[in-house]
Chain A
Amino acid sequence: MLTKEEVINLITKKIPNSEVYVESLSGNDHLQVTVISSEFKGLSLIKQHQLVYAALKNELASEAIHALALKTQTFK
């Protein structure tokens, strides 16, 4: 089981210049994650989500994170 801090660390390590917010939907394996990053500028939504998924690749594969609702955006 991951803590919210671990999820945030995994994402910010892979995607610098980002703000990450994690909420539990049910238990700590169903997560709502919001990532705001300047790295997303000019990227399609699919590419933005793929960056976040890549940061959590092992955790998704092992089902340490079972479900992930994801929202990405650039800084306004």
Chain B
Amino acid sequence: METQVRNKIQNLIDSSPVMVFMKGTKLMPQCGFSNNVVQILNSLGIEFNTFDVLSDFELREGIKEFSNWPTIPQVYLKGEFLGGSDILIEMYNSGELKEKIEIELAS
């Protein structure tokens, strides 16, 4: 991966406490998995920023290598990789997600 792409990803992650790399936008997700993550975060009332990987092919491929994670969406909390759609759904259902995000955002 080019340094430029890596830096761009890091800057995006640093730009918001909760950063979601997804297909499409908050208002118009372009994939069911990305939509799951948006719905979950919205239902918890959490503020988050998104980046549409469909708008940037280099970043779309780069983020997979960056996170060692082959699928989109990808969620970062306070600079740390939290997981993709499956993990967020599981954490949401167990109540762990709300707790973890609230603790991280308060610290």
Q: Which residues of A contact B (CB under 8 A)?
A: 45-46, 49-50, 53, 56-57, 60-61, 67-71
* Docked complex Cα distance between A56 and B85 (Å): 18
Partner of B86, one of A50, A60, A69: A69
Stretch at the interface among B9-17, B37-45, B46-54, B65-73: B65-73
In the bound complex, residues from chain A placing their C-beta under 8 Å from that of B81 are 46
| Interface of A (DSSP majority class) | helix
Q: Which residues of B contact A (CB under 8 A)?
A: 33, 68-71, 81, 83-87, 90-91
**Of all chain A residues, which has the CB nearest B90?**
A45
CB-based contact B87/A61 at 8 Å: no
* Docked complex Cα distance between A57 and B64 (Å): 11
In the bound complex, residues from chain B placing their C-beta under 8 Å from that of A68 are 71
Partner of B83, one of A45, A56, A57, A60: A45
In the bound complex, residues from chain A placing their C-beta under 8 Å from that of B69 are 49-50, 53
CB-based contact A49/B68 at 8 Å: no
B91 → A minimal CB distance (Å) = 8
A43 → B minimal CB distance (Å) = 13
In the bound complex, residues from chain B placing their C-beta under 8 Å from that of A53 are 69-71
CB-based contact B85/A60 at 8 Å: no
